[in-house]
Amino acid sequence: MSKVGPTWSMLVMTFAGAIPSWQCENGVNDYTSHNNLSTLNPAHSNGSASFQQCYPSGNSTSDGCTDFKFAGDMNTIVSEWSLICDKDWVASTITTIQMIGLLVSGLTAGHIADGIGRKPTYFMSLLMLVICNVIAGFSTSWKMFAVMRFLLGFGSGCYLTVFYNFMMEFIPSKHRPIVVAFPSWAVWACALGFLSSWLRDWSHIHFATAVMTAPWIFFWWVTPESFRYLVSHNKINEAKDVVRMMARINGRPVPDLQKLRMLADIDKAIDERKYTVKDIFSSKTLRKYTFLLGVGWLSCGYGYYAISFGVQSLSGSLFYNMFLLTVVEVPAQMSTYYLSNKFGRKCTAFGFFTISSLSSIVVAVTQITDIELKHQLMNGFAMAAKMGVAAGWSALMLLTTENYPTVVRNIGFGLQCSVSRVGGMVAPLVVYLNHHFPGALYFICGGLLLISAVCTLFIPETKGRAMQDVIDENATRGSPCQLHSLLSSDSPSDESSGTVTENVPSKTSNH
Protein backbone atom coordinates (compact mmCIF):
# COMPACT_ATOMS: atom_id res chain seq x y z
CA MET A 1 0.00 0.00 0.00
CA SER A 2 2.84 2.39 0.76
CA LYS A 3 4.05 2.13 -2.83
CA VAL A 4 1.50 4.81 -3.76
CA GLY A 5 4.15 7.40 -2.80
CA PRO A 6 6.99 6.40 -5.14
CA THR A 7 4.61 5.34 -7.93
CA TRP A 8 2.79 8.66 -8.17
CA SER A 9 5.97 10.64 -7.45
CA MET A 10 7.76 8.91 -10.32
CA LEU A 11 4.97 8.91 -12.90
CA VAL A 12 3.37 12.31 -12.22
CA MET A 13 5.40 13.76 -15.09
CA THR A 14 3.32 11.61 -17.45
CA PHE A 15 0.60 14.20 -16.85
CA ALA A 16 2.59 17.19 -15.56
CA GLY A 17 4.85 17.21 -18.63
CA ALA A 18 2.01 16.90 -21.14
CA ILE A 19 1.51 19.74 -23.63
CA PRO A 20 -2.04 21.16 -23.68
CA SER A 21 -3.42 22.61 -26.90
CA TRP A 22 -2.24 26.19 -27.33
CA GLN A 23 -2.24 29.15 -29.68
CA CYS A 24 0.00 32.11 -30.34
CA GLU A 25 -1.80 35.37 -29.51
CA ASN A 26 0.88 38.05 -29.39
CA GLY A 27 -1.13 40.10 -26.95
CA VAL A 28 -4.25 40.34 -29.11
CA ASN A 29 -7.25 39.66 -26.90
CA ASP A 30 -9.78 38.33 -29.39
CA TYR A 31 -10.90 35.15 -27.65
CA THR A 32 -14.16 36.34 -26.19
CA SER A 33 -16.18 33.97 -28.33
CA HIS A 34 -14.42 30.79 -27.21
CA ASN A 35 -12.69 31.59 -23.93
CA ASN A 36 -14.81 29.01 -22.14
CA LEU A 37 -14.02 26.13 -24.46
CA SER A 38 -12.17 23.23 -22.81
CA THR A 39 -9.88 22.67 -25.80
CA LEU A 40 -8.38 24.64 -28.62
CA ASN A 41 -8.20 23.49 -32.21
CA PRO A 42 -7.25 24.95 -35.58
CA ALA A 43 -10.79 26.10 -36.16
CA HIS A 44 -10.32 28.62 -33.39
CA SER A 45 -7.51 30.36 -35.20
CA ASN A 46 -8.21 33.88 -36.40
CA GLY A 47 -6.24 36.67 -37.94
CA SER A 48 -4.33 37.35 -34.73
CA ALA A 49 -3.53 33.81 -33.55
CA SER A 50 -1.75 30.71 -34.86
CA PHE A 51 -2.64 27.21 -33.68
CA GLN A 52 0.37 25.58 -31.97
CA GLN A 53 2.84 27.57 -34.06
CA CYS A 54 5.76 29.43 -32.53
CA TYR A 55 5.19 32.43 -34.76
CA PRO A 56 2.27 34.86 -35.02
CA SER A 57 -0.14 35.19 -37.93
CA GLY A 58 1.02 36.59 -41.24
CA ASN A 59 -0.34 40.10 -40.61
CA SER A 60 1.67 40.51 -37.40
CA THR A 61 4.78 42.67 -37.26
CA SER A 62 6.40 40.49 -34.56
CA ASP A 63 8.94 37.82 -35.44
CA GLY A 64 7.93 35.49 -32.62
CA CYS A 65 5.19 34.79 -30.11
CA THR A 66 5.07 36.96 -27.02
CA ASP A 67 1.82 35.62 -25.63
CA PHE A 68 0.25 32.16 -25.56
CA LYS A 69 -3.25 30.91 -25.01
CA PHE A 70 -3.50 27.41 -23.45
CA ALA A 71 -6.54 25.16 -23.38
CA GLY A 72 -8.32 25.21 -20.06
CA ASP A 73 -8.97 21.47 -19.81
CA MET A 74 -5.79 20.81 -17.80
CA ASN A 75 -3.01 22.69 -16.05
CA THR A 76 0.47 21.20 -16.50
CA ILE A 77 3.91 22.66 -15.90
CA VAL A 78 3.99 23.42 -19.64
CA SER A 79 1.02 25.77 -19.38
CA GLU A 80 2.09 27.01 -15.93
CA TRP A 81 5.43 28.37 -17.16
CA SER A 82 4.86 28.44 -20.97
CA LEU A 83 7.39 25.69 -21.65
CA ILE A 84 6.93 25.64 -25.42
CA CYS A 85 8.80 26.91 -28.48
CA ASP A 86 12.25 27.96 -27.27
CA LYS A 87 11.53 26.32 -23.87
CA ASP A 88 10.08 23.05 -25.16
CA TRP A 89 13.15 21.16 -23.91
CA VAL A 90 12.52 22.02 -20.26
CA ALA A 91 9.82 19.44 -19.42
CA SER A 92 11.85 16.48 -20.73
CA THR A 93 14.96 17.82 -19.00
CA ILE A 94 13.12 18.02 -15.67
CA THR A 95 12.15 14.35 -16.05
CA THR A 96 15.79 13.48 -16.77
CA ILE A 97 16.82 15.38 -13.62
CA GLN A 98 14.33 13.26 -11.70
CA MET A 99 16.03 10.14 -13.06
CA ILE A 100 19.43 11.46 -12.01
CA GLY A 101 18.04 11.54 -8.46
CA LEU A 102 17.14 7.86 -8.88
CA LEU A 103 20.64 7.12 -10.15
CA VAL A 104 22.27 8.78 -7.15
CA SER A 105 19.99 6.98 -4.71
CA GLY A 106 20.78 3.64 -6.32
CA LEU A 107 24.45 4.19 -5.52
CA THR A 108 23.88 5.38 -1.93
CA ALA A 109 20.66 3.88 -0.54
CA GLY A 110 22.16 0.42 -0.10
CA HIS A 111 24.96 1.79 2.05
CA ILE A 112 22.46 3.83 4.08
CA ALA A 113 20.30 0.74 4.71
CA ASP A 114 23.34 -1.33 5.66
CA GLY A 115 24.43 1.39 8.07
CA ILE A 116 21.24 2.42 9.89
CA GLY A 117 18.95 -0.47 8.97
CA ARG A 118 16.23 -1.35 6.48
CA LYS A 119 13.38 0.01 8.60
CA PRO A 120 14.78 3.56 9.17
CA THR A 121 15.74 3.88 5.50
CA TYR A 122 12.31 2.70 4.37
CA PHE A 123 10.39 5.17 6.54
CA MET A 124 12.86 7.98 5.90
CA SER A 125 12.13 7.65 2.18
CA LEU A 126 8.37 7.89 2.82
CA LEU A 127 8.83 11.02 4.94
CA MET A 128 11.00 12.55 2.23
CA LEU A 129 8.32 11.87 -0.41
CA VAL A 130 5.64 13.56 1.71
CA ILE A 131 7.69 16.71 2.36
CA CYS A 132 9.05 17.07 -1.18
CA ASN A 133 5.65 16.55 -2.83
CA VAL A 134 4.15 19.33 -0.72
CA ILE A 135 7.00 21.72 -1.56
CA ALA A 136 6.88 20.73 -5.25
CA GLY A 137 3.18 21.63 -5.35
CA PHE A 138 4.06 25.16 -4.22
CA SER A 139 6.86 25.62 -6.80
CA THR A 140 7.02 29.16 -8.16
CA SER A 141 9.32 28.44 -11.11
CA TRP A 142 10.32 25.50 -13.23
CA LYS A 143 13.83 25.67 -11.77
CA MET A 144 12.50 25.23 -8.24
CA PHE A 145 10.28 22.43 -9.51
CA ALA A 146 13.30 20.73 -11.13
CA VAL A 147 15.15 20.72 -7.78
CA MET A 148 12.17 19.10 -6.09
CA ARG A 149 11.90 16.52 -8.87
CA PHE A 150 15.53 15.55 -8.19
CA LEU A 151 14.78 15.10 -4.49
CA LEU A 152 11.60 13.15 -5.27
CA GLY A 153 13.64 10.91 -7.57
CA PHE A 154 16.17 10.38 -4.78
CA GLY A 155 13.44 9.56 -2.24
CA SER A 156 11.70 7.18 -4.64
CA GLY A 157 15.01 5.49 -5.38
CA CYS A 158 15.72 4.99 -1.68
CA TYR A 159 12.29 3.42 -1.23
CA LEU A 160 12.61 1.08 -4.22
CA THR A 161 16.15 0.08 -3.28
CA VAL A 162 15.30 -0.95 0.28
CA PHE A 163 11.73 -2.16 -0.36
CA TYR A 164 12.43 -5.45 -2.14
CA ASN A 165 15.24 -6.64 0.12
CA PHE A 166 13.28 -5.59 3.20
CA MET A 167 10.45 -7.90 2.11
CA MET A 168 12.60 -10.68 0.66
CA GLU A 169 14.54 -11.01 3.90
CA PHE A 170 11.33 -12.37 5.48
CA ILE A 171 10.34 -14.70 2.61
CA PRO A 172 11.55 -18.21 1.55
CA SER A 173 12.77 -18.59 -2.02
CA LYS A 174 9.67 -20.41 -3.32
CA HIS A 175 7.51 -17.40 -2.52
CA ARG A 176 9.98 -14.64 -3.37
CA PRO A 177 8.53 -14.19 -6.89
CA ILE A 178 5.34 -12.87 -5.34
CA VAL A 179 7.26 -9.83 -4.07
CA VAL A 180 7.90 -8.67 -7.63
CA ALA A 181 4.76 -10.24 -9.10
CA PHE A 182 2.29 -8.47 -6.80
CA PRO A 183 1.16 -5.57 -9.03
CA SER A 184 1.10 -2.80 -6.43
CA TRP A 185 3.02 -0.42 -8.71
CA ALA A 186 0.71 -1.13 -11.65
CA VAL A 187 -2.43 -0.71 -9.53
CA TRP A 188 -1.32 2.68 -8.22
CA ALA A 189 -0.21 3.74 -11.70
CA CYS A 190 -3.74 2.97 -12.96
CA ALA A 191 -5.14 5.02 -10.09
CA LEU A 192 -2.91 7.92 -11.16
CA GLY A 193 -4.71 7.98 -14.51
CA PHE A 194 -8.06 8.42 -12.75
CA LEU A 195 -6.60 10.98 -10.33
CA SER A 196 -5.19 13.03 -13.19
CA SER A 197 -8.48 13.04 -15.09
CA TRP A 198 -10.23 14.21 -11.92
CA LEU A 199 -7.82 16.87 -10.63
CA ARG A 200 -6.26 17.94 -13.97
CA ASP A 201 -3.71 20.12 -12.18
CA TRP A 202 -0.05 19.27 -11.62
CA SER A 203 0.17 20.95 -8.19
CA HIS A 204 -3.01 19.27 -6.90
CA ILE A 205 -1.64 15.86 -7.91
CA HIS A 206 1.51 16.53 -5.87
CA PHE A 207 -0.59 17.46 -2.85
CA ALA A 208 -2.72 14.33 -3.30
CA THR A 209 0.43 12.20 -3.44
CA ALA A 210 1.63 13.67 -0.14
CA VAL A 211 -1.76 13.04 1.49
CA MET A 212 -1.88 9.42 0.29
CA THR A 213 1.71 8.71 1.38
CA ALA A 214 1.59 10.27 4.86
CA PRO A 215 -0.53 7.60 6.66
CA TRP A 216 1.99 4.84 5.98
CA ILE A 217 4.66 6.67 8.00
CA PHE A 218 2.69 5.83 11.15
CA PHE A 219 3.24 2.12 10.55
CA TRP A 220 6.72 2.67 12.03
CA TRP A 221 5.32 1.44 15.35
CA VAL A 222 4.07 -1.90 14.01
CA THR A 223 6.66 -2.75 11.34
CA PRO A 224 9.64 -4.84 12.56
CA GLU A 225 13.22 -4.44 11.48
CA SER A 226 14.60 -7.25 9.32
CA PHE A 227 15.76 -9.97 11.74
CA ARG A 228 18.49 -10.88 9.27
CA TYR A 229 19.84 -7.34 9.47
CA LEU A 230 19.68 -7.50 13.28
CA VAL A 231 21.56 -10.81 13.36
CA SER A 232 24.24 -9.52 11.00
CA HIS A 233 24.74 -6.51 13.30
CA ASN A 234 24.90 -8.66 16.44
CA LYS A 235 21.57 -7.40 17.85
CA ILE A 236 20.54 -10.87 18.95
CA ASN A 237 17.88 -9.99 21.52
CA GLU A 238 16.05 -7.71 19.07
CA ALA A 239 16.25 -10.41 16.38
CA LYS A 240 14.76 -12.96 18.79
CA ASP A 241 11.84 -10.64 19.51
CA VAL A 242 11.12 -10.29 15.78
CA VAL A 243 11.26 -14.07 15.21
CA ARG A 244 8.93 -14.68 18.17
CA MET A 245 6.49 -12.11 16.79
CA MET A 246 6.54 -13.80 13.37
CA ALA A 247 5.88 -17.20 14.94
CA ARG A 248 3.02 -15.78 17.02
CA ILE A 249 1.34 -14.07 14.04
CA ASN A 250 1.71 -17.20 11.88
CA GLY A 251 0.47 -19.49 14.66
CA ARG A 252 3.65 -21.59 14.47
CA PRO A 253 6.07 -22.86 17.12
CA VAL A 254 9.02 -20.62 17.93
CA PRO A 255 12.10 -22.03 16.15
CA ASP A 256 15.41 -22.77 17.81
CA LEU A 257 16.73 -19.32 18.69
CA GLN A 258 20.04 -20.65 19.97
CA LYS A 259 21.30 -20.68 16.39
CA LEU A 260 21.07 -16.90 16.16
CA ARG A 261 24.20 -16.41 18.26
CA MET A 262 26.12 -18.85 16.06
CA LEU A 263 24.93 -17.07 12.92
CA ALA A 264 26.03 -13.72 14.34
CA ASP A 265 29.51 -15.14 14.95
CA ILE A 266 29.62 -16.43 11.36
CA ASP A 267 28.54 -13.04 10.01
CA LYS A 268 31.18 -11.35 12.12
CA ALA A 269 33.81 -13.55 10.51
CA ILE A 270 32.42 -12.74 7.07
CA ASP A 271 32.47 -9.03 7.84
CA GLU A 272 36.22 -9.12 8.35
CA ARG A 273 36.32 -9.03 4.57
CA LYS A 274 34.63 -5.90 3.20
CA TYR A 275 33.30 -6.49 -0.30
CA THR A 276 32.95 -3.76 -2.90
CA VAL A 277 31.93 -3.48 -6.53
CA LYS A 278 35.58 -4.18 -7.35
CA ASP A 279 35.05 -7.78 -6.26
CA ILE A 280 32.32 -8.19 -8.88
CA PHE A 281 34.54 -7.03 -11.71
CA SER A 282 37.52 -9.05 -10.40
CA SER A 283 35.57 -12.25 -10.97
CA LYS A 284 35.41 -13.42 -14.58
CA THR A 285 32.06 -15.15 -14.02
CA LEU A 286 30.41 -12.24 -12.19
CA ARG A 287 31.79 -9.80 -14.73
CA LYS A 288 30.02 -11.76 -17.46
CA TYR A 289 26.74 -11.94 -15.51
CA THR A 290 26.91 -8.23 -14.72
CA PHE A 291 27.27 -7.27 -18.37
CA LEU A 292 24.50 -9.58 -19.61
CA LEU A 293 22.11 -8.54 -16.85
CA GLY A 294 23.05 -4.89 -17.32
CA VAL A 295 21.84 -4.90 -20.92
CA GLY A 296 18.43 -6.03 -19.71
CA TRP A 297 18.27 -3.50 -16.87
CA LEU A 298 19.27 -0.65 -19.19
CA SER A 299 16.63 -1.68 -21.73
CA CYS A 300 13.91 -2.04 -19.09
CA GLY A 301 14.72 1.34 -17.57
CA TYR A 302 14.52 2.98 -20.97
CA GLY A 303 11.54 1.03 -22.29
CA TYR A 304 9.30 1.37 -19.25
CA TYR A 305 9.71 5.11 -18.79
CA ALA A 306 9.89 5.94 -22.49
CA ILE A 307 6.52 4.30 -23.09
CA SER A 308 5.08 5.85 -19.91
CA PHE A 309 6.27 9.40 -20.58
CA GLY A 310 5.59 9.10 -24.30
CA VAL A 311 1.90 8.36 -23.80
CA GLN A 312 0.92 11.64 -25.46
CA SER A 313 2.29 10.37 -28.79
CA LEU A 314 -0.59 7.87 -28.91
CA SER A 315 -4.03 8.73 -30.20
CA GLY A 316 -7.07 9.33 -28.03
CA SER A 317 -7.52 10.66 -24.51
CA LEU A 318 -4.34 11.22 -22.50
CA PHE A 319 -5.99 9.99 -19.28
CA TYR A 320 -7.55 6.94 -20.90
CA ASN A 321 -4.21 5.96 -22.43
CA MET A 322 -2.45 6.48 -19.08
CA PHE A 323 -4.88 4.00 -17.56
CA LEU A 324 -4.65 1.44 -20.39
CA LEU A 325 -0.84 1.47 -20.51
CA THR A 326 -0.70 0.56 -16.82
CA VAL A 327 -3.68 -1.73 -16.39
CA VAL A 328 -2.09 -4.25 -18.78
CA GLU A 329 0.78 -4.58 -16.29
CA VAL A 330 -1.50 -6.05 -13.62
CA PRO A 331 -2.21 -9.49 -15.18
CA ALA A 332 1.21 -9.63 -16.85
CA GLN A 333 3.11 -8.94 -13.64
CA MET A 334 0.95 -11.35 -11.64
CA SER A 335 1.63 -14.08 -14.20
CA THR A 336 5.37 -13.93 -13.48
CA TYR A 337 4.74 -15.63 -10.12
CA TYR A 338 3.44 -18.73 -11.89
CA LEU A 339 5.65 -18.57 -14.97
CA SER A 340 8.94 -18.04 -13.12
CA ASN A 341 8.25 -21.04 -10.88
CA LYS A 342 6.88 -23.20 -13.72
CA PHE A 343 9.25 -22.42 -16.60
CA GLY A 344 12.04 -20.55 -14.84
CA ARG A 345 13.14 -16.95 -14.45
CA LYS A 346 15.25 -17.07 -17.61
CA CYS A 347 12.52 -18.32 -19.96
CA THR A 348 10.00 -15.89 -18.49
CA ALA A 349 12.27 -12.90 -19.04
CA PHE A 350 13.17 -14.04 -22.57
CA GLY A 351 9.54 -14.50 -23.57
CA PHE A 352 8.32 -11.14 -22.31
CA PHE A 353 11.31 -9.27 -23.74
CA THR A 354 10.63 -10.82 -27.15
CA ILE A 355 6.94 -9.86 -27.01
CA SER A 356 7.81 -6.29 -26.05
CA SER A 357 10.48 -5.97 -28.72
CA LEU A 358 8.25 -7.09 -31.58
CA SER A 359 5.34 -4.97 -30.33
CA SER A 360 7.55 -1.88 -30.12
CA ILE A 361 8.75 -2.32 -33.69
CA VAL A 362 5.14 -2.61 -34.90
CA VAL A 363 4.26 0.66 -33.12
CA ALA A 364 7.28 2.41 -34.65
CA VAL A 365 6.48 1.24 -38.18
CA THR A 366 2.83 2.21 -37.75
CA GLN A 367 3.75 5.72 -36.57
CA ILE A 368 5.67 6.49 -39.76
CA THR A 369 3.13 4.98 -42.17
CA ASP A 370 -0.39 5.85 -43.14
CA ILE A 371 -2.38 2.65 -42.99
CA GLU A 372 -5.92 1.69 -42.13
CA LEU A 373 -6.62 1.34 -38.40
CA LYS A 374 -3.34 3.14 -37.70
CA HIS A 375 -4.39 4.56 -34.34
CA GLN A 376 -5.90 1.32 -33.07
CA LEU A 377 -2.76 -0.63 -34.00
CA MET A 378 -0.50 1.92 -32.32
CA ASN A 379 -2.41 1.88 -29.06
CA GLY A 380 -2.87 -1.89 -28.98
CA PHE A 381 0.75 -2.80 -29.62
CA ALA A 382 1.97 -0.02 -27.29
CA MET A 383 0.03 -1.74 -24.50
CA ALA A 384 1.61 -5.08 -25.44
CA ALA A 385 5.07 -3.48 -25.38
CA LYS A 386 4.45 -1.98 -21.95
CA MET A 387 3.15 -5.31 -20.66
CA GLY A 388 6.26 -7.13 -21.87
CA VAL A 389 8.66 -4.63 -20.32
CA ALA A 390 6.94 -4.65 -16.92
CA ALA A 391 6.65 -8.45 -16.67
CA GLY A 392 10.11 -9.08 -18.12
CA TRP A 393 11.65 -6.64 -15.65
CA SER A 394 10.03 -8.54 -12.75
CA ALA A 395 11.57 -11.83 -13.91
CA LEU A 396 14.91 -10.10 -14.48
CA MET A 397 14.91 -8.83 -10.88
CA LEU A 398 14.62 -12.39 -9.61
CA LEU A 399 17.31 -13.59 -12.00
CA THR A 400 19.61 -10.82 -10.79
CA THR A 401 19.03 -11.42 -7.08
CA GLU A 402 19.64 -15.15 -7.34
CA ASN A 403 22.71 -15.04 -9.61
CA TYR A 404 24.90 -12.87 -7.37
CA PRO A 405 26.57 -14.52 -4.33
CA THR A 406 25.34 -13.36 -0.93
CA VAL A 407 28.49 -11.38 -0.11
CA VAL A 408 27.99 -9.10 -3.15
CA ARG A 409 24.31 -9.70 -3.91
CA ASN A 410 23.08 -6.29 -2.87
CA ILE A 411 26.08 -4.52 -4.33
CA GLY A 412 25.33 -6.21 -7.65
CA PHE A 413 21.61 -5.50 -7.44
CA GLY A 414 22.26 -1.85 -6.58
CA LEU A 415 24.67 -1.61 -9.52
CA GLN A 416 21.99 -2.92 -11.90
CA CYS A 417 19.44 -0.48 -10.43
CA SER A 418 21.82 2.35 -11.28
CA VAL A 419 22.25 0.99 -14.82
CA SER A 420 18.47 1.05 -15.29
CA ARG A 421 18.41 4.70 -14.18
CA VAL A 422 20.70 5.54 -17.09
CA GLY A 423 18.01 4.18 -19.39
CA GLY A 424 15.43 6.18 -17.46
CA MET A 425 17.49 9.36 -17.88
CA VAL A 426 17.69 8.88 -21.65
CA ALA A 427 13.97 8.06 -22.01
CA PRO A 428 12.58 11.62 -21.58
CA LEU A 429 15.09 12.99 -24.07
CA VAL A 430 14.03 10.40 -26.66
CA VAL A 431 10.37 11.27 -25.94
CA TYR A 432 11.27 14.86 -26.86
CA LEU A 433 13.11 13.59 -29.96
CA ASN A 434 10.07 11.52 -30.94
CA HIS A 435 8.03 14.72 -31.36
CA HIS A 436 10.35 15.69 -34.24
CA PHE A 437 11.16 12.16 -35.52
CA PRO A 438 8.10 9.91 -35.09
CA GLY A 439 8.91 6.27 -34.43
CA ALA A 440 12.34 6.90 -32.88
CA LEU A 441 11.11 6.10 -29.36
CA TYR A 442 9.75 2.68 -30.26
CA PHE A 443 12.47 1.70 -32.75
CA ILE A 444 15.09 2.16 -30.02
CA CYS A 445 12.91 0.33 -27.52
CA GLY A 446 12.41 -2.62 -29.85
CA GLY A 447 16.10 -2.90 -30.65
CA LEU A 448 17.25 -2.75 -27.04
CA LEU A 449 14.73 -5.31 -25.83
CA LEU A 450 15.61 -7.70 -28.65
CA ILE A 451 19.26 -7.55 -27.61
CA SER A 452 18.18 -8.08 -23.99
CA ALA A 453 16.21 -11.19 -24.93
CA VAL A 454 19.32 -12.65 -26.58
CA CYS A 455 21.48 -11.79 -23.54
CA THR A 456 19.17 -13.69 -21.17
CA LEU A 457 19.97 -16.90 -23.06
CA PHE A 458 23.54 -16.74 -21.72
CA ILE A 459 22.55 -16.20 -18.07
CA PRO A 460 22.26 -19.31 -15.83
CA GLU A 461 18.77 -20.38 -14.78
CA THR A 462 18.22 -20.09 -11.00
CA LYS A 463 14.81 -21.73 -10.59
CA GLY A 464 14.89 -24.26 -7.74
CA ARG A 465 18.60 -23.78 -7.12
CA ALA A 466 20.24 -22.73 -3.90
CA MET A 467 21.80 -19.30 -3.96
CA GLN A 468 25.57 -19.12 -3.78
CA ASP A 469 26.97 -17.33 -0.73
CA VAL A 470 30.62 -16.71 -1.57
CA ILE A 471 32.53 -15.80 -4.71
CA ASP A 472 34.02 -19.04 -5.97
CA GLU A 473 34.97 -19.37 -9.62
CA ASN A 474 35.22 -23.16 -9.23
CA ALA A 475 31.91 -23.62 -7.42
CA THR A 476 29.01 -25.29 -9.17
CA ARG A 477 26.01 -23.02 -9.07
CA GLY A 478 23.18 -24.62 -7.19
CA SER A 479 25.46 -26.72 -4.95
CA PRO A 480 25.16 -25.09 -1.54
CA CYS A 481 28.22 -24.60 0.58
CA GLN A 482 28.10 -25.39 4.30
CA LEU A 483 27.24 -21.81 5.17
CA HIS A 484 24.26 -21.79 2.82
CA SER A 485 22.98 -25.15 4.07
CA LEU A 486 23.00 -23.83 7.60
CA LEU A 487 21.37 -20.48 6.94
CA SER A 488 19.12 -20.80 3.94
CA SER A 489 15.37 -20.47 4.15
CA ASP A 490 15.23 -22.46 0.90
CA SER A 491 15.37 -25.67 2.91
CA PRO A 492 11.90 -27.03 3.66
CA SER A 493 10.51 -27.17 7.14
CA ASP A 494 10.33 -30.52 8.87
CA GLU A 495 6.59 -30.73 8.48
CA SER A 496 6.45 -34.44 9.19
CA SER A 497 7.76 -33.98 12.72
CA GLY A 498 5.49 -31.08 13.43
CA THR A 499 8.40 -28.75 14.17
CA VAL A 500 9.80 -25.79 12.37
CA THR A 501 13.49 -25.72 11.56
CA GLU A 502 15.42 -22.53 12.10
CA ASN A 503 15.55 -20.87 8.69
CA VAL A 504 17.65 -17.81 9.31
CA PRO A 505 19.57 -16.95 6.14
CA SER A 506 23.05 -15.71 5.72
CA LYS A 507 23.74 -12.01 5.76
CA THR A 508 22.03 -10.24 2.89
CA SER A 509 22.97 -6.60 2.78
CA ASN A 510 20.55 -4.22 1.12
CA HIS A 511 20.90 -3.42 -2.57
Half-sphere exposure of 93 (CA within 13 A, CB side): 12
200-245 pLDDT tens trace:
899 999 999 999 999 999 999 989 988 877 877 778 888 888 888 9
Angle at CA of residue 234, ends 228 and 240, nearest 5°: 60
pTM: 0.73
pLDDT at 433: 87
Higher pLDDT, 462 or 357: 357
pLDDT band at 500 (very low <50, low <70, confident <90, very high): very low
pLDDT tens digits, 246-299:
899 989 988 877 777 766 666 555 555 666 778 888 888 888 989 999 999 999
Among 116-125, 174-183, 338-347, 430-439, the minimum mean pLDDT is found in 174-183
Q: What is the pLDDT of residue 406?
A: 67
Question: Residue 281: what pLDDT?
Answer: 85
C-alpha pair distances (Å), 204 with each of 52, 60, 215: 26, 37, 18
pLDDT band at 48 (very low <50, low <70, confident <90, very high): very low
The per-residue pLDDT for 353 is 95
pLDDT digits (tens, 9 = 90+) for 379-416: 889 999 999 998 999 889 888 888 888 667 767 877 88
Question: Could you give the CA distance from residue 108 to residue 158 in angstroms, rounded to a whole number?
Answer: 8
- Architecture of the 83-249 domain: Up-down Bundle (1.20)
- Please check whether the two domains, 83-249 and 275-485, share a CATH topology: yes
430 vs 181, residue with greater confidence? 430
pLDDT band at 38 (very low <50, low <70, confident <90, very high): very low
Alpha carbon distance 403, 437 (integer Å):
39
The domain spans of the chain are 83-249, 275-485
C-alpha–C-alpha distance, residues 100 and 20, integer Å: 26
Strand partners, 23: 51, 69
Number of C-beta neighbours around residue 347 at 10 A: 17
Question: pLDDT band at 139, cuts 50/70/90?
Answer: very high
Class of domain 275-485: mainly alpha
